[in-house]
Amino acid sequence: MSGLSNQFGIRPVVMGGAIVTSATFLATAFAPNLIFIQVIYGVIGGVASGCVYIASLIIIADYFDRLKGISTGITMAGSGVGSFVFAPLVQGLIRSYDWKFTLIIVSCIMFQCCVLGALLRPIQPTLQLKKE
């Protein structure tokens, strides 16, 4: 993922990964069999969500110099808190509706990562003038 980020930039990797992840959730809702779910949701969706996650961690090093450790810790904690909150939300949606409709809702939520990825702007390096 870091190679893709170096080659294409953080923003396209996050946005592309979010689009592919969202598409895999949507395709899984209409899956004809279990093998399709394992390949689309498990393999392709896993790699695409890894693009979103790893690229968003890489950009922390660009944004923060002094408090890099704290900012990385907050970012890592955010994924844990998201998992903690998201599990009961998905469980409630499955109980209220069905798993296919829940995957469509989760697909829409995952697509919001594309919108948020558009907000990641690369930091332009500043020129340091040498004092003679």
| % of the chain exceeding 70 in pLDDT | 92
Return the structure tokens found at 132: 């003679």
Nearest to 110 by CA among 34, 54, 52: 52
Distance in angstroms (rounded) separating the CA atoms of residues 57 and 82: 15
* pTM, to two decimals: 0.82
Please name the residues in contact with 49: beta carbons below 8 A apart, sequence gap of 6 or more: 17, 21, 110
Q: What is the pLDDT of residue 23?
A: 95
**Residue in the structure block whose two tokens are 């961690």:** 57
3-class state of residue 1 by DSSP: coil
pLDDT computed for residue 43 by the predictor: 93
